[in-house]
Amino acid sequence: MRLLPPDCPGSPVTATVLAADIGGTHTRLAIAPATAPERPLRVQAYDNADWPDFVSLLAAFLAERHESPTRACIAVAAPVGTGQRCVELTNLSWRIDADGISARLSGAPVCLINDFAAVAHAVPHLDDDSLVSVQPGQPDPLAPAALIGAGTGLGQALVLECHETGRLHVMPTEGGHSDFAPQTREDWELLEYLQGCYGAHVSWERVLSGSGLVELYRFRCGEHLHPDVRQAEREGRDPAPVITRLGLQAGDKTAEATLRHFVRLYGAQAGNLALQTLCRRGLFIAGGIAIHLLPLIASGGFLDAFLAKGRFRNLLTRLPVQVIVHPWPGLLGALTAAAACD
């Protein structure tokens, strides 16, 4: 089940659900029929930097057509506890208040979930067009699935579907903030470099994220930045897409080495997650960075690092590994979760 384009005009919809997927950089919003959350009536994306807070953004979205959703699910890039009603985003100075949003929606029920939990909710609804296989493996539908995704931060989650009830159990984690584990001499030098920047604790997110990609690049070239990277920084733009372009399309050797290092580390941490969860249903790689680096991920460096786990290499060869290429998996998951919100 894919997140389909907005419906053609038809009979009026009497009950709609609202979903928001709030990341550190972008927010996506959608309105969909409560009976068909996978078929949105309207989808819109925003740059968070253009808005002082989420409430202002939401008000502008709803004002365009004076819509009044009957339920809402807000997916946020932050830890969300069971029943938690107020959240501060990890990488953005926004505070999301479910009760305040509910009041603005005339009392409609509003639930908060972690943004990676939202992607996890989408997993059972992803079809073959939404996935690219890195390793086919031998999927076990009764076993857990795991997700990992580098973006503004590094998300990780576990998914287990109860086949007796059909209920989906989603367990978001903050494993991206666990200790970075160097394996090669180059990795040890990287760790020392990052400890000089951030102190003794260096997390996987410090290397597997958009900002982590920039750190890997700086680690390699110091202050000898490519002119395009330097210009992006002067203009206040994110240099990570520039480094990616230089490495994939422009033949810049430092950027190429940076991307290969990033992909190897990505595979290593994905393998750690697979061992920690025994995700025999499959490991799913989410996030825009994976889509942009898909040629490198598929070329073998990712899988080599994923499988490099000593005595457990053979076990890991049996786990399916797939990249999610659906354009809005978090929004799809939030829409399906919104339909069940009460």
**One-letter amino acid of 157:** A
Handedness of CA 172, 177, 179, 185 (dihedral sign): positive
- Minimal CA–CA distance to 91: which of 138, 45, 49, 46? 49
**Rounded to whole angstroms, how far apart are CA atoms 141 and 163?**
9
pTM of the model: 0.86
Res 14: pLDDT? 62
Structure confidence by residue, pLDDT tens digits, 304-316: 999 999 999 999 9
CA distances from 164 to 4, 82, 168, 277 (A): 29, 23, 11, 22
**Rounded to whole angstroms, how far apart are CA atoms 259 and 254?**
9
Q: What is the mean pLDDT of residues 38-47?
A: 91
Which pair of tokens denotes residue 20? Answer: 């928001």
Helices H, strands E: what count in the chain?
A: 13, 13
Please state which CATH number belongs to domain 177-324: 3.40.367.20
Res 313: pLDDT? 97
What value, to the nearest 5°, has the Cα angle with vertex 177 and ends 188 and 314?
70
Domain 16-121+328-339 has CATH 3.30.420.40: yes
Q: What is the mean pLDDT of residues 198-222?
A: 96
Structure confidence by residue, pLDDT tens digits, 104-120: 999 999 999 988 889 99
Res 198: pLDDT? 95
Contact 117, 172 (CB under 8 A): yes
pLDDT score of 3 more than 70: no
pLDDT score of 1 more than 60: no
**Rounded to whole angstroms, how far apart are CA atoms 193 and 175?**
22
Domain boundaries, the chain: 16-121+328-339, 177-324
Q: What is the mean pLDDT of residues 153-165?
A: 86
Could you list the beta-strand ranges (E) of the chain: 16-22, 26-33, 42-47, 71-76, 86-88, 95-97, 110-114, 131-135, 145-150, 154-161, 168-173, 282-286, 321-324
**Rounded to whole angstroms, how far apart are CA atoms 75 and 14?**
24
**Rounded to whole angstroms, how far apart are CA atoms 112 and 124?**
20
Structure confidence by residue, pLDDT tens digits, 268-278: 999 999 999 99
Contact 217, 208 (CB under 8 A): no
pLDDT score of 5 more than 60: no
Which DSSP string do the residues of 175-220 spell out, in sequence order?
Answer: GGGSBP---SHHHHHHHHHHHHHH-S--BGGGTSSHHHHHHHHHHH
